[in-house]
Amino acid sequence: MNPSPNLFLVGPTGAGKTTIGQRLAAHFGLPFVDLDVEIASRYGDTVTAIFKREGEAGFRSRESAHLDEFSRHQGIVLATGAGAVLDPLNRDALISRGTVLMLGVDVDEQLDRLRDDGTRPMLAGDDRRGRLQSLADNRNHLYEDIADLIFHGRHEGVDSALPRAIALLERHWKRC
């Protein structure tokens, strides 16, 4: 495990990277950064609008630049976007600059959590289950490959999941 003051959260859409990340940051007294929020803020537009205007490649380029910048900070909790792991350079940066916590979630739980969410460009279309399953098939091994720790959701609320996540980190996260 990488002894680092940084904690990087990876995982599929709807896994809780933002919600759990904010609470972990508060618990450990660290600043929280949501990569998608930072990108949207810097460019004065939503992730969905950036995707529409520049395509996935344009968005991924911005994402990589911001991931490189924020992963160089010391002592942060950083929630990546679900697709950030697609770029090998992003994976290398995450592995070398912090402890990587994968938040795992199954497709049924994703569907439940995202049922009213129409803001995620990678979920556009009619067959959400099929899209989520395809994303899982293509990305889960990447999350697992770079993860120092894996935290699996149990179809539970944040208030139930958070103490388990904190306990996992307190047992294994070696902050320098």
Query: Cα–Cα distance between 149 and 95 in angstroms, integer?
Result: 12
For residue 8, the surrounding DSSP H or E stretch is strand 7-10
- Rounded to 10 deg, the angle between the 35-43 and 47-71 helix axes is 110
Q: Does residue 36 have a known ligand-binding role?
A: yes
Determine if residue 60 is labeled as part of a ligand binding site. Answer: yes
18 is in an annotated binding site: yes
Among residues 3, 7, 4, 46, the alpha carbon closest in space to that of 25 is found at 7
Residue 126, classed as helix, strand or coil, is coil
Question: Which is nearest to 122 in space by CA: 26, 27, 55?
Answer: 55
Residue 45 contacts residue 58 (beta carbons within 8 Å): no
Tell me: is residue 19 an annotated ligand-binding position.
yes
Residue 15 buriedness (CB in 10 A; 0-12 / 13-18 / 19+): buried
According to the annotation, is 120 in a ligand binding site? yes
CA gap 99, 115 in Å, rounded: 31
Binding residues, as ranges, are 14-19, 36, 60, 120, 139
Binding residues for Mg(2+), as ranges, are 18
Binding residues for ATP, as ranges, are 14-19, 120
Binding residues for substrate, as ranges, are 36, 60, 139
